[in-house]
Amino acid sequence: MDRGSQSDTASGAEEAGCAPVRSTALPPCVVFEDDDLLVVNKPPGWNTHAPSPYAGEGIYEWLRHREPRWSDLSILHRLDKETSGLMVFGKTPEANRSLARQFEQRQVRKVYRMRTDRKSMRDEWTADSSIIRAGDRYVARPRAAGMDPAETRFRAVASGDDGTEWEVVPVTGRTHQIRVHAAEGGIPLLGDPLYGGTPAPRLHLAACRLSFAHPRTGETVGWSIDPEWAEDPRILLRRAVIVPGETDAFRCLNGGSDAGARGLHLDAWGPFHLLYSDPEEGSPGWETPGRVCGLEVLNLYHRPLNRRVGKSVVGENDPKWVWGATAPESFNVRENGVRYEIRFDQGYSVGLFLDQRDNRRRLLTGHVAAGFPPMGPGREVLNCFAYTCAFSVCAALAGARTTSLDLSRKYLDWGRRNFSLNGLDPEGHGFVFGDVFDWMRRWAKRGRRFDTVLLDPPTFSRSKERGDFRAERDYGPLVELATSVLNPGGMLFASTNAARLEPETFLAQVRGGLARAGRRIVAEHWMPQPPDFPVSRDEPAYLKTVWLRLS
């Protein structure tokens, strides 16, 4: 398949009698795809697979749930989180068997590049040992009976004042094998302090060449990439998932998960950047004009975190200009090819929640995850707490008829403008002003039903009809009520950004509401934050989302 085009997807689905699928461009991390293989270039700082159930997705999970044809992807080998480079996933059982056999018989050729600032008296050598775990590290031990062998071949390929670059071939595939053998040989990797290397912005280890026999044809196929040592790893992560020309609104720095950005969150909004800073963490984050935490930023706005938003005066939470060009009263950004109106004069939120990008894409393409049937056109979609109706726009572009419900007429009008921006007639869709609980009770009594109900409430809200809503307390009753307007076999989307609400508690509330309503879960998919919102101990996950198909 041509890497940049998926135009056949929709037409092929229509010919097969299935729901047409609106396609988006392949993510830039994809190097090659055919009917059997998917080859990607994993950036540093991204796990191969999720380290725990509620952490951010690894590249495997993110890809597997992105496209229907990738639903059967299989992991055949792994790269450490901080190691970058080429990986291959099998798409069919036949490809998986062939590649698994080639890996087991050491017929797959993997060539790495590494950099070190240490000198070596040798230009070429082979490490041959066993490797065992010792606490949070691994150590080399002499080969002995009963211990798995570990063999790595090193060859110096370039040398300069800043260090030496080596070509490395791991004959075997033990955990941390290259890192352990490099340190044992006196040339620990740059960026690998765990094994004695000099600290650096990234681990200087990349899988640069990969070749094997194609599982269908038997012909040798191979790929090579540039390790891009000089590029900022924070940029490489976003570059792997953000398609230029299709998306220009995304998170550039996500607090403590990005080096040097603790207490800081930087978002790109088309030509402008907006920096959110936590005054309790100290510096607002910019250095000389044009740079924020080492990243080039031409047009910067800033807004300090306000922990008393509900008690703020008008304009207090508006982003303030810092340098570069000034933003117009309103301007447009693109996300997955969809256009949205953005404003920097509306307080805390500027018109779009970037952490829901992948979920909006699910509505746009009609594909939720592996194991879910497609969401076809003609569906009735209820978007509760609709804000500026971004979810509704994506669903409408996929052929759904949407009803957007919100307590703010101002935001519903903004939503109508987003519809018009994308060539959609707002008159063909519903925009309802009022309290979510009140309207869902009315619709339930009238027998009004929807095929999909979207719940993404604010952590706290207040209405005259109901009073206060708190996600930590009221999510279960909200879900229970939502099922009263959801058709059998319908889809429920439940999401919250309440940081203090633990994933297990959130899911318990959702399932409790479903149990009280007598609805059974047919399919379930947990959806964490997108990759440009990386998760770490210093920046734990806050967004919690589950897609549910109900009986």
Please give the average per-residue pLDDT across 37-61, as a whole number.
Answer: 95
Gap between the Cα atoms of 448 and 337, Å rounded: 32
> Mean pLDDT over all residues of the chain?
92
Point out the least confidently predicted range of 287-291, 298-302, 331-335: 287-291
Would the pLDDT of 547 be above 80? Answer: yes
Position 9 scores a pLDDT of: 37
| Domain residue ranges of the chain, discontinuous segments joined by + | 27-224, 247-332, 353-550
| Phi, psi torsion values for 376, nearest 5 degrees | -85, 175
| Domain at 247-332: CATH architecture | 2-Layer Sandwich (3.30)
Position 16 scores a pLDDT of: 36
Gap between the Cα atoms of 510 and 79, Å rounded: 35
For the chain, give me the number of helices (H) and strands (E)? 11, 29
Position 348 scores a pLDDT of: 80
Would the pLDDT of 21 be above 90? Answer: no
Q: What tokens were used for 233? A: 């790893």
% of the chain with per-residue pLDDT over 90: 82
Higher pLDDT: 11 or 173? It is 173
Position 289 scores a pLDDT of: 85
Gap between the Cα atoms of 462 and 517, Å rounded: 25
**Whole-prediction pTM value?**
0.92
Each residue's pLDDT tens digit, 311-322: 555 567 889 999
| Domain at 27-224: CATH architecture | 2-Layer Sandwich (3.30)
- Per the residue annotation, which of 80, 248, 278, 318 is the catalytic one? 80
The question of whether 80 is a catalytic residue gets the answer yes
Would the pLDDT of 525 be above 60? Answer: yes
Higher pLDDT: 422 or 471? It is 422
Would the pLDDT of 12 be above 50? Answer: no
Instruction: Using pLDDT thresholds of 50, 70 and 90, give the confidence band for residue 349.
Output: confident
Instruction: Using pLDDT thresholds of 50, 70 and 90, give the confidence band for residue 2.
Output: very low
Per-position b or e across 15-27, b if 16+ CB within 10 A of its CB: eeeebbbbbbbbb
Higher pLDDT: 260 or 194? It is 194
DSSP letter, residue 224:
E
Overall CATH class of domain 353-550: alpha beta
Please give the average per-residue pLDDT across 3-19, as a whole number.
Answer: 38
Position 314 scores a pLDDT of: 52
Please give the average per-residue pLDDT across 331-354, as a whole number.
Answer: 95
DSSP letter, residue 541:
-
Please give the average per-residue pLDDT across 188-207, as a whole number.
Answer: 97
Would the pLDDT of 6 be above 80? Answer: no
Residue 38: CB partners within 8 Å, gap ≥ 6? 30, 32, 63, 70, 73, 88, 89, 91
